[in-house]
Amino acid sequence: MNDLFTKCRNFTIVRQLMASGIYPFFKELESEQAPEITIKGKKFIMFGSNNYLGLANDPRMKQASIDAVKQFGTGVAGSRFLNGNTVLHMELEQKLAAFKGREAALIYATGYQMNLGVISALVGKGDFAVIDKLDHASILDGCRLSQGELARFKHNDPADLERVLKKIGPRHGKLVIVDGVFSMEGDIAPIPEISKICKKYGARLMVDDAHASGVIGKRGHGTCEHFGLTSKEVDLVVGTCSKSFASVGGFAAGDENIIHYLRHVSRSMIFSAALPPASVAAISKAIDIIDAEPQRLKRLWDNSRYLMKRFKEMGLNTGETQTPIIPVVIGDDEKTFMLWRMLYDRGLFTNPVVSPAVPPKRALIRIVATATHTREQLDRALDIFETCVKKILKKKSAVLVK
C-alpha cells in the first residue's frame, strides 16, 4: 500500500537543522514590527522585515484600524461578492487606482490570492503565461492554477523573452508576468525593454509591484513611476499590501474593463472572505502617509545606501541589487545558516535565504534597513555583521568576496 503520509515521516532535513541549532524560521516575536523587536525577552535589531517605510507601528495606522473596528467590527463575515463589501473597500480601490495611475483597482485578501486569482482568470485554454525564471512563487502557482500553458525566460533577459514569444507565435494569447523588484536580490526588471517586446509580439504585460510600492519611483509609486511608464506600456499592475502598506492584502490595478472582468470572474476573490475593515483602513492610511511624507522614502534610501557603502568596504558580495533590499551572497547553505545563527546570537535579526527561493549555490543573507532605523542602530548592526563574517569565514570564499 502506498501511504501518502510516508513523505511526512521521511521529511527530516528541517529536524536536522533544529537539532543542530541553526533552524531560523517561525521565530515568535513578542513586539510590533519596529527597528528593534523582542523575542523571548531579548532585544534584536530588525533587519529582516519588509516594513520598508516603518509604517507597521505608526500610531496613525493603529488608530485608523481601531476606528474601523469600532464602526465595522472585526470582520465582514463573507465575500465582497455577497455581503462583505463596505464603503472602506470601495474607497481603498479608488486610492490604489490613483496611486498606480490606473482607471480602477480590485483588492484581495492576500497578495498570494491576488496572483492566483488574476492569472487564472486571464490565462485560459490555448493561452500562455510567460514568466521570469525568478518570479515569486505566487506567480508560478497562479500559472499552474490557470488552464493555459507556462513558458519561462531567463532572469531579466529581454532577448530571451523575445525568443520565447517568437516560438509561441501569434495564434495564442500571451500574458507576460514579471516582478518589478525581485524580492530576494533587489534587482529591478527592465520593464521598458520587456514592454517593447510584448508590443512586438502581441503579448499583454503584468508587473507585480509587491516590493516596488513605497520603495521606487520619485514618490514611491512603484515600477512604472520609476521608468516613467503608463498603462500604454504596462497593462496591469498588481501587488501586495503587506510590505510598505504595512497590513495584509493584494491588489490589481488596470483599465476599468479588465478590473470589471476580474471582479466577476476571479475565483480567489469571489470565494474568499473580504479583507477585514481594520486592514482596509490601515492600507488606506498608509497611502495617505506615503503621499504626504516623501521624507520617509528619502530616509529609506539614505539608510540603504549607507549600509551598501559599508558592506562594499567589507568586500561583501551584494549581487546586482538596485533597491533597499540588500543580499549578502554566501553561496553555501550551511555557511549561510551558521552566519545567520551568529548574527542572531548577537542580537541581529536577518533572513537566511536558500534554494528554491534563490538558485542553488546562491544562498544569501537578506537584509533590509527601514526608513525608521537610526544611524546608531545601523552602526551597531554593521559592527555585529563584520565581526560574524570574519569569524564564520576565516578562509576566504570566492563566492562571498567580490
pLDDT for position 195: 98
Q: Which domains does the chain have, with CATH numbers?
A: 13-46+294-392 (3.90.1150.10), 59-292 (3.40.640.10)
Average pLDDT over residues 219-242: 98
pLDDT of residue 312: 93
Indicate whether 81 pLDDT > 70: yes
Helix (H) or strand (E) holding 48: none
CB 250 within 8 A of CB 115: yes
E strand map for 63-203: 104-108, 128-132, 149-153, 174-179
Segment 307-344, tens digit of pLDDT: 999 999 999 999 999 999 999 999 989 899 999 999 99
Mean pLDDT across the stretch 200-213?
Answer: 98
pLDDT at 173 > cutoff 50: yes
Is the predicted pLDDT of residue 393 greater than 80, yes or no?
no
Q: Which residue from 311, 228, 16, 225 is spatially nearest to 239, judged by alpha carbons?
A: 225
Structure confidence at residue 357 as a pLDDT band (50, 70, 90) = confident
Q: Kindly name the residue from 89, 100, 136, 211 that is annotated as catalytic.
A: 211
> What is the length of the chain?
402
- Amino acid identity of residue 336, one-letter, is T
* Measured CA angle at 18 (ends 15, 20), to 5 deg: 110
Residue 367 and residue 350 in contact, taking contact as beta carbons nearer than 8 Å = yes
The per-residue pLDDT for 100 is 98
The per-residue pLDDT for 390 is 86
The whole-number average pLDDT for the span 351-357 is 90
Contacts of 69 by beta carbon, 8 Å cutoff, 6+ apart: 277, 278
Q: Which of 183, 247, 268, 279 is catalytic?
A: 183
In single-letter form, the type of residue at position 138 comes to S
Q: Report how far residue 46's alpha carbon sits from residue 34's, in angstroms, rounded to the nearest whole number.
A: 7
Decide if 78 contacts 274 (C-beta within 8 A).
Answer: yes
Q: Looking at residue 160, what is its pLDDT?
A: 98
Look up 183 and say whether it is catalytic: yes
Contact status, residue 297 vs residue 220, Cβ threshold 8 Å: yes
- Given the residues 89, 221, 226, 243, select the one marked as catalytic: 243
Overall average pLDDT of the 72-93 stretch = 96
Closest to 219 measured CA to CA, from 289, 282, 279: 289
Active site residue 243: yes
pLDDT in tens, 119-161: 999 999 999 999 999 999 999 999 999 999 999 999 999 999 9
- 19-70 tens-digit pLDDT: 888 899 999 999 999 999 999 999 999 999 999 999 999 999 999 999 999 9
- Split at pLDDT 50, 70, 90, the class of 401 is very low
Query: Phi-psi region for residue 91, left (φ > 0), alpha (ψ -120 to 50) or beta?
Result: alpha
Mean predicted confidence (pLDDT) in 170-191: 97
pLDDT score recorded for residue 399: 44
What does pLDDT average to over the chain?
A: 95
Predicted confidence band at 394 (pLDDT cuts at 50, 70, 90)? low
pTM: 0.94
| For residues 189-215, average pLDDT | 98
